[in-house]
Amino acid sequence: MLERYGWSDTLQRQFASHATEGLVPARVLVQQRGHYEVVADCGELTATLGGKLAHEADDGGFPITGDWVAIAARSGEGAATIRHVLPRSSVFKRRAAGPGAPRAQLVAANVDIALLVASLNAEFNLRRIERYLAAAWESGADPVIVLTKADMCDCVEALKAEVEAVAFGVPVHAVSALTGRGLDLLQACLLPRRTAVLLGSSGVGKSTLVNAFAAESVMETRAISADGARGRHTTTHRELVLLPSGALILDTPGMRELGLWDADAGVSSAFAEIEALIAQCRFHDCRHLTEPHCAVREALSNGSLDPERWAAYGKLQRELAFQERKNDPIARSESRKVWIRRHLDYRARKKFEERDE
């Protein structure tokens, strides 16, 4: 059973110390408000957290869908207790929404492919796709971009070309679950015992894709709104589904926004051509404003760098810097000193200009 869900020799070695405790391995299929469904060699079980794990785990230490865990199984009761979480090969995370101190929210673990789903309707947003690409590269999974509802779009190839221009080699598939367009090519990316996660905004058609791959209705779906633009939120929890092909696919609730979390490397990968330009600037601390021999300003002036893409890169960098200041008191103090110095410099310059007048 476990081999069908991706169990490997590497995982077996990682589990060895837990086996001496009389525990058995399992994979988390469903995580919903502290409720877990796991699969082990003895079948599917309803699981709860062990007291020590619940007490000692930090925000990122609790099991999430896709995790491999060590459990004390009570197969006769159809129940289990989760004692440990095995090391993750990949993890997709975002900044948790809501007030209070910033923290990470883990969305999916141990996935091989991140299917980044966007709809080819009025909600199509290139900047949002760039943001998902950055998060996917940071997670350790291989991204694949999926453009859904191709049957509702009159300019599929043009929009696909726009995405390919910022994806830099990442596969881009335009599909329609209604007509079947592109589904065969996309399904070829899903291999037995490999895990894919569907990520995207609410109502872009993630659950519909799961049903299409499963050839049956395994996830609830709803029609899009009357104006044909904003999709309706359907999935309320994360669930790992074993497809007839032997591939595994993890559906997730739609995200109204994706705040990046600790994604410096992911942003660098998603904007590799901009990072290469920055490396060509004459000064290592170039602000790309008035400095001479600035490769970024030259690319902007000759049209080889899209101003909107440059603005998007700057926005994500500022978001990451703000996050670092919020989390790091030293960085926050240094940032405050910089802004005080800039303010004093500005006041001195204004005073000098007024005196000259």
Q: What is the DSSP string of 96-139?
A: PPSSSS--EEEEEES-SEEEEEEESSTT--HHHHHHHHHHHHHH
Helical ranges in the chain per DSSP H: 9-19, 51-56, 126-139, 156-167, 183-187, 206-214, 264-270, 272-280, 295-302, 307-327, 329-356
Look at the domain 91-251 and name its fold. Rossmann fold (3.40.50)
Query: 259: which 2 tokens?
Result: 């705040």
Confidence of residue 331 (pLDDT cuts 50, 70, 90): very low
- Over residues 236-275, the pLDDT tens digits come to 578 999 999 999 999 887 666 687 777 888 999 999 999 9
Span 221-236, mean pLDDT? 47
- Over residues 29-58, the pLDDT tens digits come to 998 877 899 999 999 999 999 999 988 888
- In the chain, list all ranges with CATH 2.40.50.140: 2-85
- Over residues 277-294, the pLDDT tens digits come to 999 999 988 999 989 999
Contact 48, 81 (CB under 8 A): yes
- In the chain, list all ranges with CATH 3.40.50.300: 91-251
Cβ within 8 Å of residue 345, ≥6 positions away = none
Own/partner long-range contacts of 228-232 (Cβ < 8 Å, ≥24 apart): 228/121, 228/122, 228/152, 229/121, 229/122, 229/123, 230/122, 230/123, 230/203, 231/119, 231/123, 231/201, 231/202, 231/203, 231/204, 231/205, 232/202, 232/203
Query: 278: which 2 tokens?
Result: 């920055």
In the predicted structure, residue 335 carries a pLDDT above the cut 90: no
Whole-angstrom distance, CA of residue 108 vs CA of residue 11: 17
Contact 174, 181 (CB under 8 A): yes
To the nearest 10 degrees (0 to 180), the angle between helices 307-327 and 126-139 is 50
Write phi, then psi, for 169 (nearest 5 degrees).
95, -10
Give the H/E segment covering residue 196: strand 195-200
Look at the domain 264-356 and name its fold. Ribonucleotide Reductase Protein R1; domain 1 (1.10.40)
- Over residues 66-119, the pLDDT tens digits come to 999 999 999 999 999 999 999 999 999 888 766 655 677 888 999 999 999 999
The pLDDT value given to residue 233? 43
Contact 118, 43 (CB under 8 A): no
The pLDDT value given to residue 238? 84
Look at the domain 2-85 and name its fold. OB fold (Dihydrolipoamide Acetyltransferase, E2P) (2.40.50)
Confidence of residue 203 (pLDDT cuts 50, 70, 90): confident
Strands 195-200 and 142-148, by their bridges, are unpaired
Range with lowest mean pLDDT among 196-200, 221-225, 240-244: 221-225
